[in-house]
């Protein structure tokens, strides 16, 4: 099933992201988490792709397991900045062979580890999108940044690059996490004004660990609204309280988005089935996953 087909059915859907293990020793642990998440019957499960082969080699394997063994649609991430053209074409071919119909095309983070070489075949996600379009009949997603990409000079430039990606053949977009829904609503207005009409799925991050939050913010440039900063200040040193507060905050974000006509939500689960499950439980009468 192509994700774009179900995005147009008018129902409310929730999808969930997982990431492959960094080491082979952790593979079974990740599979157990994936199996638990799949049992919740999300719209689809996306599988991230790491640079330099560390986690990337398991992306196709886990995406195939989700689709073939668990009966849930999968979305395989594919990044290009640290990959050769040959490697990218090989991964696309493997996805075809496994019956994966959906790819999230990303530039990827430029590696800071000197052991990971930066290939010169691709510099932008738009180039990867063209490559995928040439090689197969995939549903292609791409990332977007409501607060602007950290490498862009400003939001206006960032939207120009986003328009270029969409024009190359993107079917839908998924946002980077945000913690103020007004940021998302404003972003939608600005991109629609520029002629970007594809579906946009908001990405929601349930923050359950204050230390994790500080690391993510340092990498993404995401702003914290005063309301969420107060949550971190009050509960950040109490792990169980922070987990409960983070789940509640994310759930409230999702309810507000759905109430305002956003029918598709993507949860960054951090491989925590209990967190995704708690949110879905609170939304049980709101969402429709069948």
Q: Could you give the residue numbers annotated as active site?
A: 17
- Ordered alpha helix ranges (H), the chain: 3-7, 27-38, 59-64, 85-97, 125-135, 155-167, 181-193, 210-220, 226-235, 239-259, 273-282
Q: What single string gives the DSSP state of each residue in 203-226?
A: EE-----HHHHHHHHHHH-----H
Distance (Å, whole) CA 149 – CA 154: 8
Q: What is the DSSP letter of 152?
A: S
Joined together, the tokens standing for residue 42 give 């999300």
Distance (Å, whole) CA 126 – CA 225: 32
Distance (Å, whole) CA 43 – CA 36: 14
Burial (Cβ within 10 Å: 0-12, 13-18, ≥19) of residue 23: exposed
Distance (Å, whole) CA 132 – CA 93: 10
Residues 6+ apart with CB under 8 A from 32: none
């Amino acid at each position: 099933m192509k994700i774009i087909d179900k995005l147009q059915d008018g129902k409310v859907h929730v999808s969930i992201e997982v990431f492959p293990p960094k080491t082979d020793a952790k593979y079974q642990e990740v599979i157990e988490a994936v199996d638990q998440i799949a049992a919740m019957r999300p719209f689809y499960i996306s599988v991230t792709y790491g640079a330099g082969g560390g986690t990337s080699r398991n992306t196709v394997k886990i995406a195939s397991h989700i689709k073939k063994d668990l009966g849930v649609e999968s979305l395989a991430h594919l990044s290009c900045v640290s990959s050769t053209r040959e490697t990218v074409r090989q991964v696309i071919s493997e996805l075809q062979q496994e019956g994966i119909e959906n790819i999230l095309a990303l530039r990827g983070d430029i590696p800071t580890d000197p052991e990971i070489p930066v290939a010169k075949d691709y510099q932008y996600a738009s180039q990867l999108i063209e490559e995928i379009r040439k090689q197969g009949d995939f549903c292609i997603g791409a990332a977007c940044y409501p607060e602007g990409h950290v490498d862009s000079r400003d939001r206006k430039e960032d939207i120009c690059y986003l328009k270029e990606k969409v024009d190359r053949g993107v079917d839908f977009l998924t946002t980077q996490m945000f913690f103020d829904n007004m940021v998302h609503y404003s972003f939608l207005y600005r991109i629609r004004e520029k002629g970007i009409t594809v579906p946009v799925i908001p990405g929601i991050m349930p923050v359950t660990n204050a230390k994790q939050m500080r690391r993510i913010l340092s990498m993404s440039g995401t702003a914290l609204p005063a309301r969420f900063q107060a949550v971190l200040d009050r509960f950040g040193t109490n792990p169980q309280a922070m987990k409960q507060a983070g789940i509640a905050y994310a759930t409230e974000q999702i309810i507000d988005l759905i109430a305002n006509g956003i029918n598709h939500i993507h949860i960054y689960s951090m491989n925590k089935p209990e967190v995704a499950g708690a949110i879905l439980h609170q939304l049980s009468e709101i969402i429709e996953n069948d």
